[in-house]
Amino acid sequence: MGSKVGAPEKLIVNGKRLDGRKANEMREMEIEVGVIPNADGSAIVTLGGTKVICSVYGPKEVLPRRNLDTEQAFLNCVYGMASFSTSERVRPGPNRRSTEISKVIADALAPAIFMERYAGMEITVIMEIINANAGTRTAAINAASVALADAGIEMRDLVCSIASGKADGTLMLDLFEPEDNFGEVDMPIAILPRTKEITLLQMDGILTKAESKKLIDMSIKACEEIYEIQKKALQKKYATETQQETE
Ligand code: ADP
């Protein structure tokens, strides 16, 4: 945030963002389900230059046993960045940022899952960022919720997520890297689209109350679009499987 070395002079030129998008335009999103045969569920999400692969394992025995929860599932979320995912090599292994992101992702996903139906069991969600261009935690949430559904985990709804913000004084959807790094505000959000329950809301920077409301409304609309893409990706996998079974 703020004036860092290498900051572009402007983030909006002639009413367009540096990648040509309008303020309320998302990057193109693609989702593919069932991409890792050895996982119980999996998905790849591509959102512009951000790409994440997610695999889900379980429900299975809780290991180590100290993580056992007899009331509900132990939802073990692990977010990581591949060393080649950014322009500067990322040191492999967990760090403060990845530990925090793993925790907020687990909190964003848990309300969608019938956690009590998996009491005493573990559901593991591994999210690896293959290429990072902002919005990696939100892309990971979109991938994880689809991968959980693919694994047959019983859910109330999918979870849809987007990171929006403010740059050059303009509220905008789905920040890409220069806007995330040099803009004024970054606000990742996740919702359960059917009830509009918000399961993740973080904010870096300052907005007025009216701006926050407007940005949340813009983000919820984008999440509804993401919901359709997620459902289509799941339907595509299962339609293909059904077709193969009948052949
Ligand atoms: P998010 O990816 O969820 O938006 P951040 O706001 O922490 O999370 O990161 C914003 C962006 O900054 C990332 O998507 C990535 O493009 C870049 N970034 C994050 N960590 C690193 C890193 N260690 N090296 C280079 N770029 C990074």
pLDDT in tens, 104-158: 999 999 999 999 999 999 999 999 999 999 999 999 999 999 999 999 999 999 9
Atom of ligand 1 lying closest to residue 204 CA: 6
Atom of ligand 1 lying closest to residue 50 CA: 14
Residue-level pLDDT at 241: 77
Short-list 193, 195, 169, 194, CA closest to 182: 169
Contact of 33 with 218, CB cutoff 8 Å: no
Atom of ligand 1 lying closest to residue 163 CA: 4
Distances (CA, A) of 203 to 84, 112, 118, 200: 27, 22, 32, 10
Q: Is the pLDDT of residue 239 over 90?
A: no
Q: Can you tell me the distance from the alpha carbon of 217 to that of 239, in angstroms, rounded to the nearest whole number?
A: 33
Give the mean pLDDT of the chain.
Answer: 95
**What residues does each domain of the chain span?**
28-87+97-239
Distances (CA, A) of 71 to 13, 109, 116, 122, 162: 54, 17, 6, 12, 31
Confidence grade of residue 5 (pLDDT, cut at 50, 70, 90): low
Q: Which fold has domain 28-87+97-239?
A: Ribosomal Protein S5; domain 2 (3.30.230)
Residues with CB under 6 A from ligand 1: 86, 88, 90, 132-137, 163, 177, 180, 186, 188
Which amino acid makes up residue 246? T
The per-residue pLDDT for range 188-215, each reduced to its tens digit, is: 999 999 999 999 999 999 999 999 999 9
Contact of 82 with 145, CB cutoff 8 Å: no
Owner of token pair 């293909």:
240
Who's near 200: CB < 8 A, 6+ residues apart? 104, 105, 107, 108, 138, 141, 161, 188, 189, 190
The pick from 131, 136, 162 for probing ligand 1's pocket by mutation, whose C-beta has the most ligand atoms within 8 angstroms, reads: 136
Residue-level pLDDT at 19: 97
Q: How far is the CA of 133 from the centre of ligand 1 (A)?
A: 7
Looking at ligand 1, which residue's alpha carbon is closest to its atom 12?
134
Distances (CA, A) of 24 to 82, 136, 208, 221, 242: 30, 19, 19, 10, 38
Short-list 175, 177, 170, CA closest to 186: 175
Confidence grade of residue 1 (pLDDT, cut at 50, 70, 90): very low
Looking at ligand 1, which residue's alpha carbon is closest to its atom 26?
86
Distances (CA, A) of 66 to 61, 71, 121, 143: 12, 14, 12, 28
Contact of 44 with 128, CB cutoff 8 Å: no
The per-residue pLDDT for range 38-66, each reduced to its tens digit, is: 999 999 999 999 999 999 999 999 999 99
Angle at 97 between CA 104 and CA 172, to 5 degrees: 70
Q: Is the pLDDT of residue 103 over 90?
A: yes
